[in-house]
Structure 1
């Protein structure tokens, strides 16, 4: 069973820290809707399970709330970035389905 489906384009950015994590920030309206509909079911750290499609890459992961950005962030794995030719600053077209 699947939850709500969202499509958007967002810029890939790199977290400045010890590890080279890459994320996209969800648009505010989508993040607000996900929080309203699914935050009560969130896991540890407020994580919301999702299924993601970028190009031909498909995987399951979690969205994480980012208070400093006032949105959810989506981690983008290295294997996906390599397969889809993405780097920090790239625009990614994202299909997101909230997992139920």
Structure 2
């Protein structure tokens, strides 16, 4: 399964700050339909992410009816992405 979408980068400033992009509603619905087949617990969905020329693996975090895509620091640096930027993402979920 592949999904493509754009979204703004935001920072969660908890004890371990991290940057994320929220998956839009339509794409989140598609993910929910397949999540049970691929999740490894707590609703986490393993994916490959592509942002610009940078690709990495991570897991989507379920949150408030959608999923959050964690943006690794190395990927943000490689693509010169900062909080508030709108980025294009491609997610690949192996079924």
Q: TM-score by structure 1 length?
A: 0.88
Q: How many residues align?
A: 95
Normalising by structure 2, report the TM-score: 0.93
Distance 1:63 1:99 in 2: 13
- Once the two structures are superposed, residues 53-74 of structure 1 have per-residue CA deviations (whole angstroms, 9 ceiling, x without a partner) of 001111111111002xx20001
Query: Structure 2: which 5+ runs fail to align?
Result: none
For 1:23, what is the secondary structure of its paired residue? strand
Q: Which runs of 4+ in 1 moved over 4 A?
A: none
Say what the alpha-carbon RMSD is for the aligned residues.
1.1
SS in 2 for 1:45: coil
Paired position in structure 2 for 1:43: 40
Alignment deviations for residues 11-41 of structure 1 (CA, whole Å, 9 cap, x no partner)? 1100021222000000011011111122343
